[in-house]
Amino acid sequence: MAATNASTLLGHMYDPRSWSFGTTSLLVAVVVAVSMGLLKVRVKRKTSNLPPGPRSYPLIGHMLEMRGAEMPEKLWSLSQTNNWPIMSFIFPNIPTVIVSSPEVTKEMLITKGNVFNSRVREMRATRGLRMSPDGKSETGALFTPHGPAWKVTRKIMVAGQNEFKRILGHDYVVRVLLPQLYKEIDSEVSIDARHQIAKTMIVRILMVFVFGPGAEQYAEEIIPLNDQLFVVTDNNHAIETFLPCIGESASWLYNKLVARRLVARKRKAYEEILSQRGVKYNLKNEWSLSDMVQEAERNGEINHDQALEIYEECFFAGQDPTVAAVEGTLRMIVENPKILVKVQQEMDEVLGEGKQLRLTDVERLPYFQGVIKEGLRLHRAIPFLIPHCAHEDATLGGFDIPKNMMLLVNLWGLARDPASFPDPYEAKPERFLERDTNFSGNDGKYVVFGVGQRICPGQSMALFILNMVIGSMCQRYNLAVAKDWKHERDTGTFFKEVALHINLTRRQGFTP
């Protein structure tokens, strides 16, 4: 949608029938200004030793390099063909560096992690997601530059997940949420795995984590708001990145008129849900992340905007990336039936037939652990790490990187590097039985949740959800690709498969 609108706008701008003398003069001035700017960038590349990159063009920079293929695939192909482990690109408004090798990834996020640990403050597409309504203070941990706001909110989010595992653990999921899911899908023959399994379960679990047991009843209220915000953010990134000359101003306006209003609606929903705690849900006042957040607010560690942003990031960063991981791993399993058979055999032998999986069982299931890791390798939640930048001028991979220049790590490419993963396009969970691989990404090869100081603060909750949801589905059901599902792609800034449809039948030994 955003790309189509951009093409229409550009076509109108360059239609001679719509020109007046003033329009022509303005257009010439803009072209000259932009061309001079791009010339300065090219000169700076020669004088400042920026990383190499393909030929750029006036106004559109490297947009032509994106045609005909999905962005991460195209960038990975460019890096491999030209032997560029680190590349620089010029989009119309945002100079960008793409990192495409484990060695440079490790240098950037571990060796020099204290330098490349910030976010691009100038990007308006994320400003509505990290700034207080009055625009005077930074909030949250996801998009906020290195500083006090990022540190305190991240600390609360990480500590909250540790408390969740210690106090609530998997009990409520096993006792309440999974039986609710089973009741909803047991009578179904073919289901939409993205919506009926992944999205529903993930948001219900997150509701319990953030607001306490019983809050899962509000998941249906939050899911459509989340869906809208993902579309809005995607559109805003496209506007800011790909519209020559007017992208920054258009992004500012879109953010002000659309994104900020939607964020305000979500924050109001969180306030309303909190007001019902102890009234309509969580009557026993059991623990939730909101307890820690409200205590930190009372103690003056955070302000109210930061408190609301912590809730927002749990759902914004927790829903779609985890949905993609759950759905992608299920797709890997149903497209490779032997994997499902091996998972079920391992679970039956270790746990016993008909016994519900619990999180504490996972450490005794090495093949299933390999399935989760392989699923995250092939179907990672996002193709690039959230943009990083250096908070001072630095060097990376032998090249100069100016302060605040945007850096992207191509996770899609790293996961398909044959030097790190032989037969990289094949689903082989066994590969992780032969190597000591964790989720910290410290070798720069297997990177899922990020690396170093900016590693995803929600990693623990994401892995909890993946293990419980995927493990329970594999254990209880025989799964297969539905006949009506087609391997087609949606449109958008980053393409993805249409929602996965699967057939399921309950296995013997598991009661309704």
Binding positions for heme? 456
Q: Which residues are annotated as a binding site?
A: 456
Q: What is the dihedral of CA 394, 400, 402, 407, to 10 degrees?
A: -90
What do you get for the CA distance between the two ends of the chain, in Å? 43
Total count of residues recorded for the chain: 512
- Could you tell me how far CA 7 lies from the centroid of its own chain? 27
Q: Quick check: helix, strand or coil at residue 389?
A: strand
Give every CB contact of residue 83 below 8 A, 6+ residues apart in sequence: none
Residue 147: other Cβ atoms inside 10 A? 13
Give every CB contact of residue 472 below 8 A, 6+ residues apart in sequence: 178, 356, 357
* Nearest-angstrom CA–CA distance, 27 and 14: 9
Both structure tokens of 465? 């959800």
List, in sequence order, every beta strand (DSSP E) within 357-412. 394-396, 399-401, 406-409
From residue 493, how far is each of 4, 120, 250 by CA, in Å? 11, 19, 17
* Nearest-angstrom CA–CA distance, 122 and 248: 9
Residue 396: other Cβ atoms inside 10 A? 21
For residues 77 and 63, the answer to whether their CB atoms sit within 8 Å is no
Give the position of tokens 């993902």.
230
Residue 169: other Cβ atoms inside 10 A? 14
